[in-house]
Amino acid sequence: MTLFLLPLPRFPRSSYLQKDRITYLFKHLRPSDLYATYWRIQESQKLQLEFWSTICSCLTIWLEHRKYSKTQILSLTKTHPVGQPCAQPTKAAANKGNLEKMNRQVSEWCFSMPKVELHAHLNGSVRDSTLLELARVLGEKGIIGFSDVENVIMKSDRTLHEVFKLFDLIHILTTDHSTVTRITKEVIEDFASENVVYLELRTTPKRNDSIGMSKRSYMEAVMEGLRAVSSVDVDYAPTGFKTNTFNGTTRKKIYVRFLLSIDRRDSTEAAMETVKLALEMRDLGVIGIDLSGNPIVGNWTTFLPALKFAREQGLYITLHCGEVPNQEEIKAMLDFLPQRIGHACCFEEENWRKLKSLKTPVEICLTSNIRTETISSLDVHHFVNLYKAKHPLILCTDDSGVFSTSLSREYSLASSAFGLGKTEMFQLAENAIDYIFADDGVKDDLRAIFEVAAKKLDL
C-alpha cells in the first residue's frame, strides 16, 4: 500500500475534542504515514468540516508528542505542505487552496449560526472606521496627534502596547454624549449583523463635569443610541415593560441587556453610586453589575459593600476574575458566589478545583487572552480543560473593536484550535442561553430561535 492510499480514519460522531481521536492516531498511524494522511484529508471532497478541523489539531499535537519542536512543525508544514512531495508544486498549490476554502467555509458557517454574547465592553467594541473618523476630528482640533494613532487604528494585529494606546484614545472619545450615542447604535447593529441574537453589553458610566456629563447622562446617551437602532428590532426591556423598538414586522431581532461596570479605580462610594444607578434603570434593560478595570489596581474589599448591596437588590453580578495571579482575591471572589466570572486565566490548583466544584460559568475570550498576553498561546488555553470537564462556559469577544475580532471569529478560532465541529459549536452557543441574566421568557424565545436554526443548518 502506498502512502497516498491510506484509508481515512473514522471517529464516532459523539466524541469531542482530541482525547479519543489522538488515541486513535497513536494506534493507527506510523510516523511515515503522518503527512500523507494529512495530505489526503485536504484532498478529500467528502470530508466533513468538523473532522478536518479536528484532525489538523490532532496531528499537530501528535507531532509534539513525538518530540518535534514547534519550529520543526512549522518548517515541515511550510516546506512540505501537508506531506506533499516537493516535486509536485501544482498539488501543493491546490492543497493550500483547499485549506483556505475549508477555513472560509467554517468561518461562514460560524457566521450563519445564532450566537449569544455575554462579555462585550461597549467602548472596546467600537468600529475602526468610527475611531479613525473621530480621531481625525480631534486631531484637527489639536486635542490629539492624529498621526500618532492613525497607524494603530488601521492595524488588525495590534501589539499589547498598541492595544493600550487604543484604549487611551477611546477613553478620550467617549466623554462626549453624541459619541457615546453613536458608538452604542453601531455596536448593537454590528453584533446583530453577525447573527448575535442576545447581547449583554457592559459599560462603565462616566462622569465629566467639564462638559456636564454625569453617570446618569452617560447612560441616557447609551439608551438614546439603542433606541436609534433602525436596521434590526431590539428587545431591551424586562417582561412587562413596553419600551422595545419593534416596528410590527418580522425583521431580524436582537435582545439587548446592559451591565453597569464598577471600575477598580472607584471608591466604595463611587461603586455604590453605580449600583444605585443600575437599580434606577432596571426598567430600561439594566440587569446587572460587572467589576472590571486594571486588575492590579484596587482592593476587593473596597467594592464588596456595593456588590453585596447589588445582590440584595436582585441585580445579577459578574466579575473579571483571575486576570492576574492574585490567588487570595480569586478565592474571595469565588466565595462571593457571583452568577458568572470573566477570563479565569491565572488560577492555581486549589482555586481551579473550587471553580469547578461551584460550576460558576466562565466567560471565555480567546483572542483577548492572547493579545493581552494573559495566556501565552491557544495550545495551553484553559478552554480545553473546562470544556472536557463539561464546565459551564461561554465564548465571548471582550473588546471586538480593539482586538479586531467578532463572535463568529471566536467560534471559528475555537473550531480550528480545539477541534470543535459544527454540532459542538452550535451546542456551545445554545448552552449559553442557560447563563444569560434575562428572564425565563427570553430564554424560551432564544431556545425557539436555536431550534429553528438547527433545522435550517441540518443539525
Alpha-carbon span 292 to 397, nearest angstrom: 15
Alpha-carbon span 138 to 152, nearest angstrom: 16
Q: Are 340 and 360 in contact (CB under 8 A)?
A: yes
For Cα atoms 376, 378, 379, give the angle at the middle one, nearest 5 degrees: 95
Query: Cell triple for residue 174?
Result: 467617549
Beta carbons within 8 Å of 84's beta carbon, 6+ residues apart: 35, 39, 91, 92, 95
Known catalytic residue at 323: yes
Residue 251's nearest CA partner among 160, 301, 317, 189 is 189
Residue 419's nearest CA partner among 15, 6, 7 is 15
Query: Cell triple for residue 271?
Result: 461603586
Query: Could you say which DSSP state residue 143 is in?
Result: S
Q: Are 76 and 70 in contact (CB under 8 A)?
A: no
Grid coordinates 495550545 are at which residue?
379
Query: Could you say which DSSP state residue 195 is in?
Result: T
Tell me which of 323, 410, 424, 430 is the catalytic residue. 323
Alpha-carbon span 49 to 425, nearest angstrom: 12
Q: Are 348 and 329 in contact (CB under 8 A)?
A: no
Q: Which sign, positive or negative, has the C-alpha torsion 366, 368, 369, 373?
A: positive
The one-letter amino acid code at 73 reads I
Query: Could you say which DSSP state residue 3 is in?
Result: G
Residue 236's nearest CA partner among 193, 180, 206, 281 is 281
**Residue ranges of E strands in 344-388:** 362-364
Residues known to be catalytic:
323
